[in-house]
């Protein structure tokens, strides 16, 4: 039976063309946003929340979000990871008010209920009242008032949490297609080099599309095309798991002559051979993997992107902040045993890719342009037929197949079926 909440959400008709169309309503409707929090972020998914490298010691913690629900991740005295909703079991205040740190206990500032690193209630001021008056009754049981605990699991040092009891084990969720690609990046211990945060005035799913969209890379990001960071003439493709929810977008090095010929043959404006950088050190890379890959973007549903662009490595987490806003957080990574030269290359290139550089600035702006244009019109849809209408991995960078894959899985979780009123539909 649909719950009353499901019955109340706004109507949604998904066009008969299926995943080759997306109704713009999903990007602005507050009722759909609410339903996503319940069915998707609190549904049978693993949400990325951080890296083990961010919490190396007992007592280390990190505050973040699952969807827009605040949570805390901790490492306990035995070294195990825990996660709980950052909401006091007394009257609902945010317990942890810092982004990161180290504490033996977490104390709510309002009435000072205190919790251990597993989220258990361990301290209650005036529990028995004062001089026999007030306080809690004798049958008050602290064990009934823990913080709301989530499941936590790790893969390759990436920490994921889930509200759901019925989600598959994390390694299965990531799946056999994605795992070797993550294993390759996280083959030795990583170190956090820093963070970059970007607030983008657009719906979070526009970013889920953007990171699965290989062909804007050389068109929107003219800098990348001009200076050879990303060209659609490169070899590469998009590789999905069997349900289309995760994706690897990979681009491979070709010779300068091959790329220039491919570009000039197509007459694309974005290849400007006459330009050069006054300081080419920005693009100076050092080969470090035994492959010819220049870029691989690994997207784990719903909100993690593991980035390898030239020598930059990063975990990107994107967090919805309402229907028309999301925060994009880059955790920039190197390896623990990096020498100074490679660390400096990573830091310099991070400026190119991140919010203060060209690439993420331009992605954020493109997303805001969409959000500004799609207001009100619930029947209008986007058109996603580049590279066909199917959801299938492709050996090409000129395709929107992985975007269709995202929508295929999104619709399954949300219960939005084709050309039906969406209110009572169940997720399959
Ligand atoms: S709301 Fe946290 S102790 Fe009262
Ligand atoms: Fe981009």
Convert the pLDDT of each residue in 225-253 to its tens digit: 787 776 666 789 999 999 999 999 999 88
Q: Given pLDDT bands bounded at 50, 70 and 90, which one contains residue 209?
A: very high
pLDDT of residue 231: 67
- Max mean pLDDT among 200-209, 255-264, 342-351 falls in 200-209
Which atom belonging to ligand 1 lies closest to the Cα atom of 91? 1
pLDDT of residue 167: 97
Closest-CA residue, ligand 1 atom 1, reads 91
Kindly give the distance from the C-alpha atom of residue 109 to the centroid of ligand 1, in angstroms, as a whole number.
7
Return the best residue to mutate from 111, 136, 142 for the ligand 1 pocket (most ligand atoms within 8 A of CB).
Answer: 111
Return the best residue to mutate from 70, 86, 90 for the ligand 1 pocket (most ligand atoms within 8 A of CB).
Answer: 90
Query: How many Cβ atoms are within 10 Å of 289's Cβ, its own excluded?
Result: 12
Kindly give the distance from the C-alpha atom of residue 319 to the centroid of ligand 1, in angstroms, as a whole number.
26
Closest-CA residue, ligand 1 atom 3, reads 111
Average pLDDT, the chain: 91
Distance separating alpha carbons of residues 425 and 428, to the nearest angstrom: 9
Query: How many Cβ atoms are within 10 Å of 178's Cβ, its own excluded?
Result: 23
E strands present in 228-339: 235-240, 247-252, 293-300, 304-309, 312-320, 326-335
pLDDT of residue 227: 78
pLDDT tens digits for 341-384?
A: 999 999 999 988 888 888 999 999 999 999 999 999 888 999 99
Q: Given pLDDT bands bounded at 50, 70 and 90, which one contains residue 258?
A: low
Residues 6 or more apart from 135 whose CB is under 8 A from it? Answer: 126, 127, 128, 129
Kindly give the distance from the C-alpha atom of residue 363 to the centroid of ligand 2, in angstroms, as a whole number.
5
Which atom belonging to ligand 1 lies closest to the Cα atom of 108? 2
């Amino acid at each position: 039976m649909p719950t009353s909440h499901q019955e109340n959400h706004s109507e949604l008709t998904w066009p008969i063309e299926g995943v080759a169309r997306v109704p713009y309503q999903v990007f602005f409707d507050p009722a759909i946003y609410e339903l996503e929090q319940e069915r998707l972020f609190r549904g049978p998914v693993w949400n990325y929340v951080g890296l083990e490298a961010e919490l190396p010691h007992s007592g280390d913690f990190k505050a973040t979000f699952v969807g827009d629900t605040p949570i805390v991740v901790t490492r306990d005295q035995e070294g195990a990871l825990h996660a709980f909703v950052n909401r006091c079991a007394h009257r609902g205040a945010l317990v942890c008010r810092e982004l990161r740190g180290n504490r033996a206990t977490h104390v709510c500032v309002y009435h000072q209920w205190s919790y251990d690193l597993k989220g258990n209630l361990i301290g209650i001021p005036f529990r028995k009242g004062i001089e026999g008056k007030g306080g809690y009754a004798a049958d008050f049981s602290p064990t009934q008032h823990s913080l709301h605990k989530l499941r936590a699991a790790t893969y390759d040092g990436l920490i994921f949490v889930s509200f759901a009891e019925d989600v598959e084990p994390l390694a299965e969720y990531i799946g056999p297609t994605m795992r070797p690609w993550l294993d390759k990046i996280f083959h030795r211990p990583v170190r956090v080099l820093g963070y970059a945060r970007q607030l983008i005035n657009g719906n979070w799913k526009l970013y889920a599309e953007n990171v699965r969209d290989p062909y804007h890379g050389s068109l929107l990001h003219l800098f990348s095309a001009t200076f050879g960071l990303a060209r659609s003439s490169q070899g590469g493709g998009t590789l999905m798991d069997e349900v289309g929810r995760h994706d690897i977008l990979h681009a491979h090095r070709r010779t300068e002559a091959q790329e220039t010929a491919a570009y000039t043959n197509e007459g694309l404006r974005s290849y400007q051979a006459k330009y050069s950088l006054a300081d080419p050190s920005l693009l100076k890379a050092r080969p470090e993997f035994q492959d010819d890959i220049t870029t691989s973007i690994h997207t784990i549903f719903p909100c993690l992107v593991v980035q390898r662009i030239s020598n930059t490595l990063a975990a990107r987490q994107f967090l919805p902040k309402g229907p028309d806003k999301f925060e994009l957080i880059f955790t920039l990574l190197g390896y623990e045993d990096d020498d100074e030269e490679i660390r400096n290359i990573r830091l310099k290139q991070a400026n190119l890719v991140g919010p203060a550089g060209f690439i993420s600035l331009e992605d954020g702006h493109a997303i805001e342009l969409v959000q500004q244009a799609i207001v009100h019109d619930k029947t209008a849809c986007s058109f996603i037929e580049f590279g066909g209408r199917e959801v299938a991995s492709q050996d090409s960078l000129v395709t929107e197949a992985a975007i269709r894959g995202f929508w295929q899985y999104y619709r399954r979780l949300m219960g939005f079926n084709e050309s039906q009123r969406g209110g009572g539909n169940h997720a399959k």
